[in-house]
Each structure stands twice: as structure tokens, then as C-alpha cells.
Structure 1
Amino acid sequence: MDQHVTALPYERPEGCPFDPPAGLAPLREREPLTRLRYPDGHLGWLATGYATVRAIAADPRFSSRQELMHFPIPGGPEGPLPPGTVGDMTAMDAPEHTRYRRLLAGKFTVRRMRQLTSRVEEITAQHLDAMERNGPAVDLVEAYAHPVPALMICELLGVPEADREVFKRRAAAISDPGSSLDEQVAAMTGLGEFVHELALAKRAHPTDDVLSDLTGSDLTDAELAGVGSFLLAAGLDTTANMLGLGTFALLSHPEQAAALRADPGLADQAVEELLRHLSIVHTGIRTALEDVEMDGRLIRAGESVTLSVQAANRDPARFDDPDSLDLRRRATGHLAFGHGIHQCLGQQLARVEMRVAFPALFTRFPTLRLAVPPEDVPLRGAMGIYGVRSLPVTWGPTG
């Protein structure tokens, strides 16, 4: 019998909020594919090497269907997982996934997303102005990191101006650390109903937005609403947490923040490096549909493989000095957006938002700094998307 790891390493080194769990690197150095005992007793696999994670993510012999997966983190769902919700492309395989992807791919081209840059700049400037009025101390998550991508999702989905404040409040309540589970479920239900009503309104009266474009397809009302909810979930929480955690990382590496402030043209490289370094979506899961030989090991049909994105993005076989944050690094090829057919559809919009938001923030507030000790910044450690719950910051004279 193969030796196996009894649990997925998920505890970060103390005082290192940006680094992967300490147990991942030794596993990767020993072998890129390791047997893993899942909390439900399933004996599957853990992939930690860059080349291995990338290969499995792109291999059609591995399924992304949720009902075939085993969950690797203790305290997660017990027993068989349900199928993914209608419209959730992350939980589909071809040909169903292909149908959805073809409908959406043309809506997220690099060219179209770059056309949104001026709108991102407007929204960013409005929130920086508000910070300046309300400062010199704010919670950056509440004042900037969350509302900027929330309003861009509104633009993308065509949420009417009159409904945007309601939309933002409901979206914020889902990830509010002060909300109870019942309140978060109620917020999710309310937001789902909101998107469903929006989808029906777009079918009746299309406007110039992605949801309206999709009303001309063969999607049912339920599928249209499901795709809207999927785009909301995929495009809001991830970008909001990258803006929050990315700012925390830059404030914790002042020489890197200074480099970005001195050269806003560094933004493209800075965003890619922050994505690689932080890897806020830590893991993916695939299940073998047939026996597959990988790295000299036999993965049998039905066995789940946990893909450690954070370990892969810190693999020294792919990135030199991978544990350092270096905004001048050419970090292309990182796996923060996934790989293969499930590579993030909205990655270009996320890039546009971050390329504008990070330099604008550090240029407007050159003395920006944490308002609390770094160890007091509350982290989203137990959630599927890593980040900060809040980020108290201040600016102005330091003397």
C-alpha cells in the first residue's frame, strides 16, 4: 500500500499570512503527486508540483463534476456532494461546459474588457475621493476593495442604477464576518432572486450588457439566471479579496509598494505577481473518470485529486525564488486563474480592475499604511477564497 498523507496541510506558518501552509513544500520536494486520505475516508491524491497541477487541470480524463468529488478540508461537507447549481460552469464537464463556454467566451475578450478601463477608472476615482473625504482612516475592504468590483459586476450584468445600492448591500452581506450563517443564507437567497428577476427583465427589455446579450441564446430562464449568479460569484468575491489581500501584502513589503508608486507602468507585472504570490483560490478538485498514469503513479477511476494551486505557484522548478514577492518578476504562466477549459472566464476583467485600482490607490495615498499591527488584521482563513475580512488603513503625516 502507498504511503499517504493523513490530512491536507492548511495551517499557515505563524506570522506569515501570505505564505502557503508549511507542510506543502516538503511534500512537493519529495514528489509532486502524493496519496491523500480525505476526511470522509476516501484515499485519493494531492498534487503540489506546478507541472502536475497544470497537466491534471487540462486533462479531460479528470472531471470537475461536484457530485464525483471528495472534499479535502476537515469541517467541510460530509457525504456525497450534490451536483453543481444550474449555470455553475466550474462544476460541469464537456459537452455541457462547452455549450456554456461558447456562449460566454465572446463576451469576455481582452479587447472588450479593455474597453471597460475608462469606467473602472471612473469608479475607482469616485471611491478614492470618498476615502479622502471620510479619512484619514477607513476599512479598505468596505471603502474600496469590495465596492469597486461590485459596481463593475453591475456594469457587466446591466443592473439598473436605481438597484445598485441594494445589489451592493446584499453582495456585501454574503461575506460580512459579522453576519450569522442564517443572515448569509438569506443574503444569498435574496441575491439569487434579484438576479433571476434581472434576467427576466433583460429577456423582456434587453439593454447593452452581457446578460442581455445572452437572451438571444437558447438558454432557459433558469439557465440565464444561473449564469448571472455564476458571473456574480466568480467576478466579485475573488477580485475584492485580491484587492484587499494584495494591498495588505504591498503594505507589508514597503519596497514593493514604493516600486509601484514610483512606476505605475509596473501595474501589469505587479498584478500577475500578486496573483501568483497570493493564490487566493488555494485548491481545485478533479476526479478521475478512468485509470490515468501520472508522474509514474496510477490514479484509478473514481479517485479525487486535490490540486494545490498555492503550492504549484510557489514551485521553484517553475519560478525562481518563488517565496519572494517581486513586482518586477515575469510571473506569466501562474495558475491563479486555473488552466484548461476551466480557466477563469472573467480573468481579463479582473486584470483590468486590479491594474487600475492598485496604482491609483498608492498614488493617491503615498503614505498609506496599516492602522493596526499586521497580526491584528482579520483573515478569511476558513473560507474557500482567501483574503482579509477587513483592512484598517490610514494615511497622512507619520510623525
Structure 2
Amino acid sequence: MRITHIDTFPLLYRNPKPYGDANGPKAYRSTYLVRLVTVSGITGWGECSGWLPALECAFREQIIPYLLGQDARLRSKIVQTIGSWHTRPASAVSMALTDIAARRTGQSICGLWGGPLREQVPVYASFQTYTEDDTWENVSLRRIEEALAQGFTHMKVKVGGKPLADDMRHIHSLQSRFGGHIALALDANQSYDAAAACAWQPLIGQWDNWMWFEEPLPMHQWEQYLYCRQKLGLPISGGENVAEARIFMNAVQQQAFDIIQPDPVHVGDLDEYRGILQLARFAGVRVSPHTYDGALARCYALYAQACLKPWSKMEQDSIEPVEWDVMDNPFNALVPLQAEQGMVRIPSGIGIGLEVDEELLRHYRWDGSRYW
């Protein structure tokens, strides 16, 4: 089970028309895949996100030399060592080693984790709301209409990137047009203080189809999060960039969130990621994974959600939805997993159960040129 070969795939796609959130426009999409191969030919795939030059340097100079010759069965030791150097690359290695473990035993990822509790998992359509011109509101409404036609009934849009009055006008238009057909989440990307976040309360009170208000405040302002929970009257969510279970535990203890949102590419260990899901169950909060940054990583989030016990005994199979990127992003096609009527059927094949599109890997491989 020695690791004898490692391939890395830094991928870049320049958006023809930039789109974005409260953090600004995205001129490109990028991701980073790794493939580990053992001496017996067993292959494992993983994915992480970040600045491609830094990821390339980390893998070439430190991670690959360390991985070559390691026993792939020693997953915890390997991931812990890499995680002490680089958190996000560790997530990709953790996924790949988990894939290898499943393939070695002839099981699916879900089988390795004790078997799925459900055959499909719900997803919600995730939008980047803003464009660089004055038509952004119309573009947003058109995208929502298209997603509704594709069968999505749960959606998330961005706020916080425009003046409060502009964002409120957009959400009022959206709700007036689609509110009777969809459930809606707002994501502010930590853009507000408590006063600005609570200014949404009158508009929020006009509809009852809200899913949650995501990260209205900067992280770690736990007392202010609790205040907004009490003031706004809708669930508050967050944690997409939190990398450790102990920080989620602190947020839960401070009653900051109704819903936590770990991301498997931001938590450096897939086993720890699954531990965070269990933490949510033990603490009585919901967990709706953030998976905007990678289609392969999203598979692991879906598999973990398929194995997670229901969050409520009021429904036989009440499981929270996983984020589904519906923007212009060719990397969504890296794995042949599709949402149908807002649901994703979980594959039952060996390992990840899907073939990575290597033609796309070649086509979008970053050539090392400047892209920022």
C-alpha cells in the first residue's frame, strides 16, 4: 500500500463575464485536484482550493516528497503531518487516502463510513448575485427563473455587496416574483455589523419562506451573532471558512448559529469534517455543508450527508441540503453527478463511484501564467 505516484492538477477558468458577492467580482474560477497511486495500482482522488501558485509550491517542494513511499493505510498520521504544514492541501490528501481505503476494501465511500441512510440528498442552488454593470438585478432574477425551471426550489443569493437599499430592493423584487415557489437564503459574506444586519428585519417579516441568513457578521463575534438570532427571527448560519472542530464547538457553545456550514476543502481532515457533522447532531444544531469551491469535494460532502442521521425526529428522513453551484463554472462537469429536481442520487460504485473527466483536466490545466 505504499504511495508510488502523485499527480497534481491545478485548474483555471477565466470567467468571460465576471460575477461575484460582497467580496467583489470573480474574474476566474480555480481548483486543485490530486491523484495518489499505490504500488498495487489503487488510485485515490482529492481536491482543495486556494491560490494556485502557493498550492503548486507546497505540493512540489514539501508534500509530494513526503508522500512518496508512505503507507496509504496510515491516513490519520499522514494527514495530521501535512495539516501541520498546510491545512487546505491536507484536505485533498485526506480525500484521496479515503478513496484509496474504500477501493482497497471494495466499498463505496458511504460503505466505508458504515453505509448510507438515504439514497439521495437535497441540494440548493447557490448564486453569485452581482455583475459589473447596472443590470445585475435583472440578471439575478433571470438566473433564479432558470434555476426554478431546472427543478431547484431552494436557493441562496448574495447581499452585502451593494448599498443596503439596493440589496433590499433586489430581494423584495425576487420575493414578490418567486416567493411563492422557492425557499430562500441570504448570504452576506460577513459584510455587516449587527445594526445593519438587523435592518433587514422589517423585510424579513414580510415572508415566511426563508431558509437562513448566512454570515451577516464577521466570524468570532459570537455575542453579536446571538443578538441577531434573537432579533431577526430567522435561522442564522455560518462557518464555511472555519477549519477546525474546536472553533465550531466554541460557536455552538456561544449559541451563535442555528446552522453550521463546514466545507470539506477548508477543513484539513475529512475525518474531522465528519466529526463536525456529528458535533452538530450532538449539539442540536443543523448542518448544511458549504461546497462552492469544488465539484469533487462536493461529492465527499454529499456522501457524508447521506450517512448522517436525520436532524429531526419529526420527519423520517429530514436531512439538510448541500450547496450546489449553478454559476458559469466548467469544473462542475469534472464528475458526472447531476441534480434532478433539487436532489442528487448517491452513487454506489467503488470508492468515489465516479470517473473524473481527465479531458477537462487537460483542457483547463493552469499553465503557470499570471491570472490575478
What's the TM-score, normalizing by structure 1? 0.25
The answer to which structure, 1 or 2, has the higher relative contact order (CA under 8 A, 6+ apart) is 1
Normalised by the size of structure 2, how large is the TM-score?
0.26
More strand by share: 2
Q: Normalized per residue, which structure has more helix?
A: 1
